[in-house]
Structure 1
Amino acid sequence: MGLTAAPPPDHAALLQTLVARARNGDAAAFSELVETHYDGIYRTAWRWCGDRHDAEDIAQEVCVKLGQAIAGFDGRSAFSSWVYRITLNAVRDWQRAGARRGRHADAYAEITPADQQAEQEEAATSRQLWSAVRRLPEKQRDAVLLVYAEQLSHAEAAAIMGIREATVSFHVHEARKTLRVLL
């Protein structure tokens, strides 16, 4: 009688179980969901706003919103898509609030010694690119960030944005043309 390895865990089924438990008020399950998704929430918020402190604030706000909204998650979309939507809405709220206060958030690179010149130039180029992306019209910016920064397919981005896949492709195409002018 030989021993066989246990089958690998089905991550989708595990996620569904956690979501169901969290929807029913299980704090430990909710905590595990937040822990699993927090890095993605923060990364998304940072790419949209470009400032570490603001991204932390947005990520914390998203976690609060998730706690308030988890009971209403109906499973029609993937949980990760639902989390992205909440994150994007929180970023847009942050941007609107910042515009009302006259705030402008820019990402700043840390200045390093001259022996790091190539890294500084690469960081400056990257910073300029993301700064230009953040100045794109909303739909173009969202499409570019989801497709290039989050490395989602056009279909996944379409599901998150609530539009057709072809429309995502159009927004990405238009963003490229706009970025050529901005850069």
Structure 2
Amino acid sequence: MNSGVLDAPVPDETLIARAVGGDRHAFGELVERHYNFIFRTACKWCGKVSDAEDVAQDVCIKLASILNSFDGRSAFTSWLYRVTLNAVRDMQRARSRRGRNADRYAEVAPDEYLPEQEDAATSKELWTAVRKLPEQQRDAVLLIYAEGMSHAEAGVIMGCKEATVSWHIHEAKKTLRGLL
């Protein structure tokens, strides 16, 4: 007899355990559940939708071989955030090595990925400048202002203390004043 109550979604931890054990369906469900999160994260860091799509695809492929390294000490999304950021950095380093450092900051992600309170032209200029910041400053700014995280949450993602995140934000503001 059907009670009329919908089945609760399977928790990530259960899907992870099943996927690590070889359950392809569980892995597929995990990727499907988190694909938009991966893509949005990559889009904010890359600035180009096409690059974000490449990074998201790479992360999903890589997950198959690294999922067993998730130890559960942090939230799965925090771990996935770091995996995605590392994939973005890998892509950027590879471009740099190949000398194809063509204007990868020119195309800003669609407005839905930018803070809505900003005027579009100012927003494009600002986020273009943010993407030119040193890595730690850029990450701190994007996590705090684009993702709306607290300094403590950003510290978990960045693997540093809350005070260090605050320092990176302070330094980024000084740098941005010079760039803008």
Distance (Å, rounded) in 2 between the aligned partners of 1:102 and 1:71:
34
Counterpart residue number, 2:113: none
The letter for the 2-side match of 1:182 is L
Distance (Å, rounded) in 1 between the aligned partners of 2:123 and 2:141:
14
Distance (Å, rounded) in 1 between the aligned partners of 2:58 and 2:51:
10
> In the TM superposition, what is the alpha-carbon distance from 1:5 to its structure 2 partner?
9.2
Distance (Å, rounded) in 1 between the aligned partners of 2:13 and 2:40:
23
8 Å CA contact 1:109, 1:124 repeated in 2 = no
Instruction: List per-residue Cα deviations over 1:145-171 (Å, max 9, x = no partner).
Output: 111112222111111111011111111
1:133 counterpart SS class: helix
Q: Which moved more, 1:129-138 or 1:22-31?
A: 22-31
Distance (Å, rounded) in 2 between the aligned partners of 1:70 and 1:58:
17
Q: Is it true that 1:78 corresponds to 2:85 in the alignment? A: no
Instruction: List per-residue Cα deviations over 1:23-58 (Å, max 9, x = no partner).
Output: 212111111111121111111111111111111001
Q: Is it true that 1:130 corresponds to 2:127 in the alignment? A: yes
Write the mapping of 1:32-47 to structure 2, written as runs, cut at 5 A: 32-47=29-44
Q: Is it true that 1:103 corresponds to 2:104 in the alignment? A: no
The letter for the 2-side match of 1:108 is E
Distance (Å, rounded) in 2 between the aligned partners of 1:81 and 1:109:
24
Say which of 160, 163, 166 aligns to 1:166. 163
Distance (Å, rounded) in 2 between the aligned partners of 1:31 and 1:37:
10
8 Å CA contact 1:65, 1:86 repeated in 2 = no
Unaligned runs of 5+ in 2: 110-117
Say which of 57, 60, 85 aligns to 2:57. 60
8 Å CA contact 2:42, 2:88 repeated in 1 = yes
Q: Quick check: which one's helix share is greater?
A: 1
Runs (4+) of structure 1 exceeding 4 A deviation are 4-9
Distance 1:134 1:24, change over 3 A: same
Alignment TM-score, normalising by the size of structure 2? 0.84
Say which of 136, 140, 159 aligns to 1:139. 136
Unaligned runs of 5+ in 1: 111-120
The size of the alignment, in residue pairs, is: 169
The letter for the 2-side match of 1:103 is N
2:124 counterpart SS class: helix
Distance 1:25 1:98, change over 3 A: same
Identity of aligned residues (%): 60
> In the TM superposition, what is the alpha-carbon distance from 1:124 to its structure 2 partner?
2.1
1:125 counterpart SS class: helix
Distance (Å, rounded) in 1 between the aligned partners of 2:14 and 2:59:
21
CA RMSD of aligned residues (A): 2.5
1:30 counterpart SS class: helix
Say which of 46, 51, 59 aligns to 1:49. 46
Distance (Å, rounded) in 2 between the aligned partners of 1:177 and 1:67:
41
